[in-house]
C-alpha cells in the first residue's frame, strides 16, 4: 500500500491464491481489497445471496462471468450478478489487486458454491 494511503482493515484472510482485506462490513454491503498472486486464480463459484462489483486497481488478469472471459487491467470494472458463475485469475507477472463491493442480504463465506478449485477446497 502507498505510504500515504490509510485504510481501516477490519479483517485480513490469507488464501492459497493471495489474500483479502475487509474494509466495510455493513448489513447491506461489504467492501474487500483482494490480491491474487501471479498465475493464481480464485475458485469458479457463485453466490445465492449477493451480487458483486469488481474494480481493478493493479495488475492484469481475466474475469470469468458465466460464459464471458473479460480481460482486466487497472481501471476496468466487472459486475457479477447474483447466481452468476465467476472467478478472477491473474494472467500477469505482478500481483493483481481489485476492490470488491458486495450487495445483498448475506455476506458470509459459506455463501460460496464452488464448481472448480485449484486448491482442493469443496
Domain ranges of the chain: 17-101
CATH of 17-101, one of 1.10.287.3510, 3.60.150.10, 1.10.3480.10, 2.60.120.10: 2.60.120.10
> What is d(CA 99, CA 118) in angstroms, rounded to the nearest whole number?
22
If one counts every other C-beta atom within 10 angstroms of the C-beta of residue 45, the result is 19
pLDDT score for 5 = 64
pLDDT score for 122 = 76
The series of mean pLDDT values per 10 residues for the chain, 122 residues long, is: 71 96 96 98 97 98 98 98 98 98 94 94 81
Amino acid at each position: 500500500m502507498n505510504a500515504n494511503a490509510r485504510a481501516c482493515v477490519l479483517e485480513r484472510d490469507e488464501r492459497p491464491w493471495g489474500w483479502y482485506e475487509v474494509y466495510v462490513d455493513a448489513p447491506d454491503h461489504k467492501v474487500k481489497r483482494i490480491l491474487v498472486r501471479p498465475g493464481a486464480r480464485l475458485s469458479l463459484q457463485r453466490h445465492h445471496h449477493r451480487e458483486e462489483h469488481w474494480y481493478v486497481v493493479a495488475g492484469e488478469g481475466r474475469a470469468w462471468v458465466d460464459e464471458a472471459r473479460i480481460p482486466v487491467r487497472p481501471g476496468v470494472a466487472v459486475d457479477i450478478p447474483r447466481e452468476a458463475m465467476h472467478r478472477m485469475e491473474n494472467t500477469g507477472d505482478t500481483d493483481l489487486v481489485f476492490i470488491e463491493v458486495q450487495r445483498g442480504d448475506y455476506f458470509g463465506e459459506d455463501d460460496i458454491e464452488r464448481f472448480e478449485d485449484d486448491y482442493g477446497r469443496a
